[in-house]
Structure 1
Amino acid sequence: MLQSDQLDFISSLELPARKPVIATRAAFAAAPTLPGVSFDENTDNGVVVGESAIGLTDSLSEQNSIDVMNCISLMQQGADKKFDKETQRKQWYEFYTKGLATLGWNTTNNASQLYTPRASEFSMDQIALEIIGAVSGGGAFRSIAEKTLNGLQKDQGALNLLENNSASESFGTFQILPCLESSKGQVAMVLNCLEFKKQVRTKRVLFFKFKKTNVTIYRAASQVQLNTNLYARIRNSVEDKLAGGAENFLEQFEI
């Protein structure tokens, strides 16, 4: 893909008035820039970005962690501005994944599909782990996802932020995104999205017991990689697009 095509796409994106907090090296070095967020690449980190909970293991470099957050943040905001995810579910996810592909992620045409849980009663965190395990074969990705969910459950502020960005009384959507970095510095992630219509009148998304008869679930999931060389040439443009963000979009939690 030509760099000019990437830059044109980034320039054309419209973002909502509530822009996400930008993640940059300088921002992580200056605590006032990102309230409540610090960075230590020697530990595992969990970060809520809008409706996504990202699991960043200690294998990820500082730069790769920042790049993951900014990619998710930019495309989530861009898709939110263009489509109503409650009424235009398919269009939202298609725009979101195509945008990530433009930024350098090797996403494929992985459409959202109806998903029927095996159990008659379940919570959405259990469904997320089931899907992540099936896509990745279990192992490291599922383990990171479990740690991310456990950390999220213990941090009410981060959980509230995710659920406030995720749900209405009758609809919910969220992403649990476990990430790894190879010994060669390549970033891999299980890209997944769960969307559900619910008859139970609640804005809870995770850790709430639903009955199979009360929800209709759609899911999309695949294992993807970031072409770091492709992304590096547009990194500054992504950060410029996200600059001047507002609070209440990004929050760190322990995993």
Structure 2
Amino acid sequence: MSRVRRALRESTKFTDERAVANPEVAIKEQLAADSRHTEMRVEKAQEFIGGLVLPNEGPLVAPGLRLVPAAVARTLNLDTVADNPDDSLDDIVLDEPTTAPVAAVDGNIVATFVDGIRGQHIFDVLDSCLLAQLVANGKCDRESQPVAWTRYYGRVLEQVAWVVPAFDFFGIRSEAGRFSMSAALLKVISGIMTAGQIDLVSGAIEMMQGLPADDRRLQIFRHNSVEANAGNFQVDSVGESQNGMVSLKLCAFNFRTSENVTDVLWWRFSSQATLLQATRTTFVLNTHIYDRIRDAVSAKLGDRAQKFIAGLPDFSDEEGGGDR
């Protein structure tokens, strides 16, 4: 066992592990609780975050260049370039609702956000999900233990203001000789997402397929979703209700097959030689608590958000904003 993984086992503490049947009801119960309950949850979350030991992911790299802070680049008189000039996250205003859908790569997640979400909440979702991925990476092998990894991912999110219901994986089989992951993905997400959300996910995948092979966003997703003949990834859709309730529809997939896979989202798999599993559920964020722990999450991530999160081209020319 590695030193980092041993440290994670010793330092990561969990509380309140009761299964949640309905996350929206649970959120309403939390909001109705007295201030002492809220203070207790904030304190426990801060203690949890403070005790985390994240794996060392090495230097920040992108195809053909090394990422360094802008101030360092200026000090060393280095030329600076924009990683992705069409990164939709660059145009988000934190204190205002978005006027168009947004899509981003977040480690092994393709995340889509319908329009009308407060800008700050988009980054809250991306940051907290990245934190959960990194902690889960230190606890479980993402490819060989995908179910355990995803469950641990959910347990981490529970500690940082998310309400996470119990969920189970199910198998997916195709009667054809080969099947595309995009077709299997569509079948799974159609069981939980609205038509508008499905359109956004499809649009995000099409955008990724149209990116150059060395695009940093493709590299992020490839390196965090697939290793040789096994993979573990998510496709999420996030919305915000009129009363500010942020919900994440999670669709998680894992597979093992007989051939090495590169671009999993549009790969064609052998039906006989592939084991494919998926789960789908809805997480809800307690924004009242997350507002109090946001700085702790950001501090724990440090510069990792720059390495693992990148916005896809915007949807401004797409029709419709997705149903909430």
Q: Quick one: percent identity of the two aligned structures? A: 24
Shift of 1:155: 2.2
**2:106, 2:309 within 8 Å by CA — same for their partners in 1?**
yes
Shift of 1:242: 0.9
Amino acid paired to 2:137: D
Alpha-carbon distance between aligned partners in 1 of 2:186 and 2:101, rounded to the nearest angstrom: 18
1:31-180 equivalence runs, <5 A: 35-36=83-84, 37=87, 38-40=90-92, 41-117=98-174, 119-136=176-193, 138-156=194-212, 157=215, 158-180=217-239
Amino acid paired to 1:167: V
Cα distance change on mapping 1:4 and 1:149 into 2, 3 Å: same
Cα distance change on mapping 1:92 and 1:20 into 2, 3 Å: farther
Cα distance change on mapping 1:71 and 1:19 into 2, 3 Å: farther
Q: How many residues align?
A: 245
Show the counterpart of 2:246.
Answer: 187
**1:190, 1:221 within 8 Å by CA — same for their partners in 2?**
yes
Shift of 1:13: 2.0
Cα distance change on mapping 1:119 and 1:183 into 2, 3 Å: farther
5+ long unaligned stretches in structure 2: 1-39, 61-68, 70-79, 93-97, 316-324
Cα distance change on mapping 1:54 and 1:237 into 2, 3 Å: same
Show the counterpart of 1:24.
Answer: none
Secondary structure of 2:115's counterpart equals: coil
Secondary structure of 2:265's counterpart equals: coil
TM-score by length of 1: 0.86
Alpha-carbon distance between aligned partners in 2 of 1:153 and 1:88, rounded to the nearest angstrom: 28
TM-score by length of 2: 0.69
Residue 58 of structure 2 is aligned to residue 2 of structure 1: no
5+ long unaligned stretches in structure 1: 22-26
1:205-226 C-alpha deviation (Å, 9 max, x unpaired): 1111112112101112102221
**1:141, 1:190 within 8 Å by CA — same for their partners in 2?**
no
Amino acid paired to 1:107: V
Shift of 1:20: 11
**1:135, 1:222 within 8 Å by CA — same for their partners in 2?**
yes
Match of 1:208 among 267, 276, 288: 267
Secondary structure of 2:253's counterpart equals: strand
Secondary structure of 2:228's counterpart equals: coil
Cα distance change on mapping 1:9 and 1:117 into 2, 3 Å: farther
Alpha-carbon distance between aligned partners in 1 of 2:266 and 2:236, rounded to the nearest angstrom: 17
Cα distance change on mapping 1:246 and 1:238 into 2, 3 Å: closer
Show the counterpart of 1:15.
Answer: 54
Alpha-carbon distance between aligned partners in 1 of 2:257 and 2:140, rounded to the nearest angstrom: 20
Select between 241-250 and 229-238 the one with higher mean Cα deviation.
241-250
Amino acid paired to 1:143: D
**1:19, 1:245 within 8 Å by CA — same for their partners in 2?**
no
Secondary structure of 1:135's counterpart equals: coil
Highest Rg: 1 or 2?
A: 2
Alpha-carbon distance between aligned partners in 1 of 2:183 and 2:204, rounded to the nearest angstrom: 13
